[in-house]
Amino acid sequence: MRNVSSAGDRHDDFADAVAAELPGLYSYARSITSNDAEAGDLVGDSVARALERRSQYRGESSLRTWLHRILYHLAIDRARRRAHELSVDDIEARWRDEDYSVDAEAVVERAESTATLREALIHLPDNYRSAVVLHDAEGFTADEVADILEISLPAAKQRIRRGRMMLVSALSQEEERRTANAGVPLGCWEAREQVSSYIDGELDGPTRRILEAHLASCATCPPLYQALVGTTGVLGVLHDPDSVIPAALAERVHRYLRLETSAEAPMPPERTI
């Protein structure tokens, strides 16, 4: 066992503890964002923020909870309200209507397709997506969700309930969205996966033009930058218990940690992986 005898050793302990939480953080970030690049940026930014504020961590909640809370707030800070999001009030009104129902078989079949499920989840408001993914995919209790999101337990339970309802409704409307987007180049999920490469100028001419045509004519996609921000919620089917941190992201984060243990200020996170 390490003998903690100096401030440097204590920094080492903190850095080691943060590093141990990276797989869970990345799994959460990947579930609430639209692509790997955005997830990597969120994890990197979260680690940098944790190092900057390590003196504020007093063990009142677990380090796991504290780090997830940091990531959650960063995701919310990046998010912009999108015109294509489902309205919480509208969904509640539908579910209160005794005549409202869905095709359960079709909903479940669509949910079994990861791409279709993620496509539907993009339409949920950020707060509700995070509540659902933390509870149903990452295995946090409702009490822990409330702690991470810094809301009351009743509010956390309400977000979980509403998020699940909105997801079912979003899946049931998938066919309507496909009809509205008939003739539009690319599917929405395929297009959004390519936006990061588009921003970095890495797409070839034909692919870039197809993506631009999609963004110009899609009935539901937000503007270019909004397509990459915000959070999403997923059900347990998307949870990967063996989540592996991409090598480039791991090296970037460990570099922050090594700088921290050397008493140097963390470098600003790189924006690409």
In this predicted model, what pLDDT tens digit does every residue of 120-155 receive, in sequence order?
A: 777 788 889 889 889 988 899 999 999 999 999 999
Cα within 13 Å of Cα(47), Cβ side: 37
pLDDT at residue 155, as a whole number? 94
Tokens of 242: 């063996």
What digits encode the pLDDT tens for the residues 38-57?
889 899 999 999 998 888 89
pLDDT of residue 63: 94
For residues 100 and 195, state if they share a domain.
yes
Same domain flag for 97 and 163: yes
Same domain, yes or no: 215 and 252: no
Are 36 and 116 within one domain?
no
From the list 71, 38, 37, 36, the residue with the least C-alpha distance to 53 is: 71
Report CA 16 to chain centroid distance, whole Å: 24
CB 32 within 8 A of CB 24: no
Question: Which residue, 229, 232, 172, is CA-closest to 45?
Answer: 229
Please check whether residues 73 and 91 belong to one and the same domain: no
* pLDDT value at residue 179: 55
Residues 17 and 134 in one domain: no
Check pLDDT > 60 for residue 192: yes
Same-domain pairing of 73 and 93: no
Q: Who has greater pLDDT, 97 or 83?
A: 97
Which stretches of 99-202 are DSSP H helices? Answer: 104-111, 114-121, 126-132, 142-149, 153-172, 174-180, 188-199
Identify the domain containing residue 205 by its residue range. Answer: 83-240
Number of H helices, E strands in the chain: 14, 0
Query: What is the pLDDT at residue 267?
Result: 47
- In the chain, the amino acid numbered 18 is V
Overall domain count for the chain: 2
Are residues 119 and 51 located together in one domain of the fold?
A: no
Same-domain check for residues 121 and 47? no
Q: Are residues 228 and 138 in the same domain?
A: yes
pLDDT given for residue 66 in this prediction: 95
Residues 55 and 66 in one domain: yes
- In residues, how long is the chain? 273
pLDDT at residue 118, rounded to an integer: 76
Q: Is there a single domain that holds both residue 39 and residue 105?
A: no
